[in-house]
Structure 1
Amino acid sequence: MIEKHERAWHKASHSGGSGSCVEVSEGSITLIRDTQNRHLGFLSVRSAEWTALLDAIRVK
């Protein structure tokens, strides 16, 4: 089980100041959540998958 309260979270660097942000907690399993709806939970992906997604986005 992933304990989200024991992990450090940071806002995505491209979230801007609009309040429409995502937060990420990186580790062997990366967690992603909506800043405005933290109570709804989070997505979890393996770090390699998260890195592949970021690499694909940066290419565009």
Structure 2
Amino acid sequence: MDELHSATWRKSSHSANGGNCVEVSDDIPGTVPVRDSKDPHGPALLFPAAAWSTFVTAVRTGGLDAPADSGR
């Protein structure tokens, strides 16, 4: 996907440890590419924008937290 070469990437707002985190781009309509900030020239995962939005909402609201009795 040629658009990835010229995409503007932003790091996660929760990045730590010198910025070792994920980066996303908002430049491709309908698709959210995600990559590892430590490997900016490596592969990117492509998610449908609606699926990414659902995932981010679930993370923000605690919908993906492990149950308290899961042993974690």
TM-score class, shorter? 0.7 to 0.9
**CA offset at residue 3 of structure 1?**
1.9
Counterpart position of 2:23: 23
Q: Which has the higher contact order (CA 8 A, sep 6+)?
A: 1
**CA offset at residue 40 of structure 1?**
2.0
Distance 1:52 1:21 in 2: 20
Larger Rg: 2
Counterpart position of 1:5: 5
Structure 1 residue runs of 5 or longer lacking an equivalent are none
Amino acid at match of 2:8: A
Structure 2 residue runs of 5 or longer lacking an equivalent are 63-72
Instruction: Report percent identity of matched pairs.
Output: 37
The TM-score normalised by the length of structure 1 is: 0.83
Distance 1:8 1:17 in 2: 22
Q: How does 1:1-60 map to 2 (within 5 A)?
A: 1-26=1-26, 27-60=29-62
Amino acid at match of 2:57: D
Q: Which has the higher helix share?
A: 1
Q: What is the aligned length? A: 60
Distance 2:35 2:58 in 1: 20
Distance 2:56 2:30 in 1: 15
